[in-house]
Structure 1
């Protein structure tokens, strides 16, 4: 206790010039702004506007500069005004950070503070009180309307539904963060008692006696000698205005109360705009003629640009999907006019381009697909929007779409290390070592388990293969390309469809039943396991007869006790024998001809992580002729063996 008092006294002496300010609006206030953040003409701090994929920051320009043993108190008034009532994304955070530079941070769920590699890094030294309006299971969000305490990452150490406790009757009253109504926040941290309190209430209501969030936290390891304080906000597939109306803060003392009556009008800012009067020209015929020419050329320029960037008008059925729709202008600028220098790949489905969204600087991949069927387009857009809700670290994030002149443009998260098959098969490309391959396998298994069992609907991918597995900046495997995916409810039954996918990955029962199930995805995953371990495609008709079907070749080697000889020669001797043998045998089990003999993806992930023993191979049920029959099937002719994804149904991706 004595030591605490001594430290407090020393700290108090150093704090004679502690930060203390009160802004009843931000007219004439010097703040450090970046991203989409602006100060409006009437004194609001608007961190983001109604555009998608934004991040914005507003920070007090001076460092607190008081070391890691201090107390602070702050209060501010905010409002979140969504583009569409009831649809918010993604929220804002009151932030203390050793830096005001968030140029490398991402918007969306990262709230403009972190990115995929910096999230949860102890070297961040960031404290954030988040006001989150989107639910991301990946970061264990409580719901889409909560307040959380974050340290160095997105996973809150404590979180609770936004609200307050009434002093009148003690009832817990919920507040809707995206109601558009102003609310007041009080945040207090006592450095001696290590107590952090967060309180929330509607504007004009006195501060509740009970805090919404209260937690004992030692922030001495988080706070550095120089810490900056401010706000960060982001948007994702839906735009929202994140607005701060007033802010008061004091270090080593209680923040001054805001003068609520002096706060700038929120409604005035949302409904009005500055008017700039035009000077009138009179008595100058030449000036009038010049003005007419300028107007004429301006109109011509606008018409030409409108034609250049014209896109399909928004139809009635599309109203529910509008938050997920990108403008063609955005994607044209992002890809620099779809220039060849940004081309990532070409296939039967169309071209894929790399791009950088101009507002948020997020890297994306844009796939251009031609399509003439209006009904097919409607059904596919509905699935695009549904699949865009998927959130998992081992799935490529689908961000949205654009319709233009019979063409569909699909926007994905960009994966800097390309597709897995490029590193496995293409000459001149560096290969992956065994540790990297095993991590990719486990990652794809986790992603498939999420699709089959952990999401709100069951998703059958229907095209699991190495070319549809992409690698992020950390070489994590992410399953992508959901163009053939099908969704149905848990407890429901999959619909009968025509056979789609890629030869060599088809489960035998698909030929008979035409029903894709989770079991048929498991079969394809088995082929994928053999593909990664052996460095060979499932079907290679140019090889010797006994090696054309990878499954048969591995199976025959297992029977002879030489299964490890099927490994990819590029691995050399640098591999873990037990892991490689596990993957090869699990590939055979997943590729079993009987659907009921295959494990579920949850069992597969448990086996790969060592939580479940590998079962014995039920060899009597394997039949070499079952696999080889694919080569002789008429629809899988020599042309089909070039291995694009195939579809005989009338769908958007038919024949790609």
Structure 2
């Protein structure tokens, strides 16, 4: 209930809140079940449509915050969530149902005579005093609560005052009240107050009349609660399942299992963020295994059935240099890819975020290069289908507990039968790793993977990104830079500075750089297949004659002018703070 007119609480000269005083007589009658109390408030508006009842007194909401509300609550029920001190207290609430100051009520009496409460605010000292007494007593000299709080930022220039209660099982009575601005609240004439109603025992028991409605209400509420919880649970874990997915059987995970494994996709379990979504660390209970869950948007250029079929097929790949794709899950608007977890994270972090990671030695780097070469050979030639990865880069190379390299993130991969010509498709991938012919042919082939692998080799040996920032607004392709040094006879000057002085094998480093240049040749017919690449890396004879025609002059500009998809025209998301979307480890 409101006083109908707004009151002016601030001085127009300085905007400071004026001194005010409130006094009111009240009484609280509780029934058999304790309930919440009553509150006096000052607010800027009469609109409390977003407020809740019961412990929120009809003026606050579940966010425990409000807008320009000062209240003094007289609470008769303990609510630990709102930090109540007990079940019989006075509290000062400033823009929140959680009291900034509270104190146990100071008087107890069995008589139904009511009580008096004074609220005094000093505009100069900003002191708030709350004082309480029995109805027929004078105002005590010592307040129940005394605190300092500047209400100038809470109470607006003009505001409403009133009383409110959210209780449903307690009767609250405001018998009379008075208000004073820049003066004490006028004394209330106790004799003129209305009489309180009498509530005494009845001749016959009214227990059935009380218990039956309560029991009925509890039963109906319980049934409704069960139905609501069941509906919310089903909605929370709802999945999108179509008939054609039954054939994929064990490769499909339930969303509930993935939700529990990642603790509800908590931020603390986030491994990486990129253009296609987020990757979270998780722990499956059955079977007990660590996983990485890639959460992507539920969209595909091809049909979803074909896409899932490819995902399941890729899940059959078993190779020590390839991250195992365990399966998938679908919801409306979302797709989840489940991989085995790689504890040492992505290679990209070891190459380009060295302040947070140990330096990789040359033997480790060379073993990584050979491991990925072996994995690509398996994908291109040794599995029953040809798999083109289409996104080979350092951030998609994961390291297991023994620092062995695994090729991961098959979100862009495509597969087809041996001997079948791949159909025209959209060009996707990461700029800097893309073969030049893709701009014209738009056909990914094993040799486009070879090109990306060549750039990857140079990245690992040189510790540089595929597109080097040599000056402000000036870029140089890494392959061009290495080729210049090769032609000048200074190719070892391109080796990562972190390796210099570490006693690395010069012959192996030179071999790796030569293989990287050969694989990244702009003409695809000049690139070796992965079987020959692995032979070179294992010490096979390598004859490399490179001319200036090998150089990728203005390759970045060429790609941008040849109709590449927008996704590839932004450098990998590893330049952001969270790392690449492909991170399946720390």
Tell me the TM-score normalised to structure 1 length.
0.52
2:110 maps to none
Compared with structure 1, are the counterparts of its residues 452 and 644 closer, same or farther at alpha carbon in structure 2 (3 Å cutoff)? same
1:335–1:354 CA contact under 8 A, matched in 2:
yes
Aligned residues: 362
How is 1:145-544 mapped onto 2 (pairs within 5 angstroms)? 296-312=224-240, 314-372=241-299, 376-429=303-356, 430-543=358-471
Compared with structure 1, are the counterparts of its residues 396 and 536 closer, same or farther at alpha carbon in structure 2 (3 Å cutoff)? same
Compared with structure 1, are the counterparts of its residues 562 and 546 closer, same or farther at alpha carbon in structure 2 (3 Å cutoff)? farther
Q: Does 1:602 align with 2:531?
A: yes
Q: Does 1:593 align with 2:514?
A: no
Q: CA deviation at 1:299?
A: 3.2
Compared with structure 1, are the counterparts of its residues 400 and 637 closer, same or farther at alpha carbon in structure 2 (3 Å cutoff)? closer
Quote the Cα distance in structure 2 between the aligned partners of 1:464 and 1:395: 12
Q: CA deviation at 1:288?
A: 9.9
How is 1:36-55 mapped onto 2 (pairs within 5 angstroms)? none
Compared with structure 1, are the counterparts of its residues 339 and 396 closer, same or farther at alpha carbon in structure 2 (3 Å cutoff)? same
- From 475, 490, 505, the equivalent of 1:576 is 505
Per mean C-alpha deviation after superposition, the further-off stretch among 505-514 and 550-559 is 505-514
Q: CA deviation at 1:624?
A: 3.9
Quote the Cα distance in structure 2 between the aligned partners of 1:629 and 1:285: 79
Q: CA deviation at 1:304?
A: 1.6
Quote the Cα distance in structure 2 between the aligned partners of 1:371 and 1:640: 19
Compared with structure 1, are the counterparts of its residues 413 and 422 closer, same or farther at alpha carbon in structure 2 (3 Å cutoff)? same
Q: CA RMSD in A?
A: 2.9
Q: CA deviation at 1:411?
A: 0.6
Quote the Cα distance in structure 2 between the aligned partners of 1:590 and 1:446: 15
2:439–2:562 CA contact under 8 A, matched in 1:
no
> 1:79-110: per-residue Cα shift (whole Å, max 9, x none)?
xxxxxxxxxxxxxxxxxxxxxxxxxxxxxxxx
Quote the Cα distance in structure 2 between the aligned partners of 1:354 and 1:511: 36
2:427–2:564 CA contact under 8 A, matched in 1:
no
Quote the Cα distance in structure 1 between the aligned partners of 2:405 and 2:476: 27
Q: CA deviation at 1:608?
A: 1.2
How is 1:1-40 mapped onto 2 (pairs within 5 angstroms)? none
Q: CA deviation at 1:377?
A: 2.6
User: 3-state SS of the aligned residue for 1:548?
Assistant: strand
Quote the Cα distance in structure 2 between the aligned partners of 1:532 and 1:638: 27
User: 3-state SS of the aligned residue for 1:500?
Assistant: coil
* Runs of 5+ consecutive residues of structure 2 not aligned to the other structure: 1-211, 575-580, 582-586
Quote the Cα distance in structure 2 between the aligned partners of 1:431 and 1:490: 40
Compared with structure 1, are the counterparts of its residues 639 and 485 closer, same or farther at alpha carbon in structure 2 (3 Å cutoff)? closer
> 1:564-615: per-residue Cα shift (whole Å, max 9, x none)?
00011111222111111111010001111221211110111111122x2122
Compared with structure 1, are the counterparts of its residues 645 and 458 closer, same or farther at alpha carbon in structure 2 (3 Å cutoff)? farther
Q: CA deviation at 1:645?
A: 8.0
* Runs of 5+ consecutive residues of structure 1 not aligned to the other structure: 1-283, 647-652
Compared with structure 1, are the counterparts of its residues 623 and 299 closer, same or farther at alpha carbon in structure 2 (3 Å cutoff)? same
Quote the Cα distance in structure 2 between the aligned partners of 1:621 and 1:494: 28
Q: CA deviation at 1:431?
A: 2.4
2:547 maps to 619
1:333–1:358 CA contact under 8 A, matched in 2:
no
2:347–2:394 CA contact under 8 A, matched in 1:
yes
Q: CA deviation at 1:639?
A: 9.8
Quote the Cα distance in structure 2 between the aligned partners of 1:565 and 1:545: 24
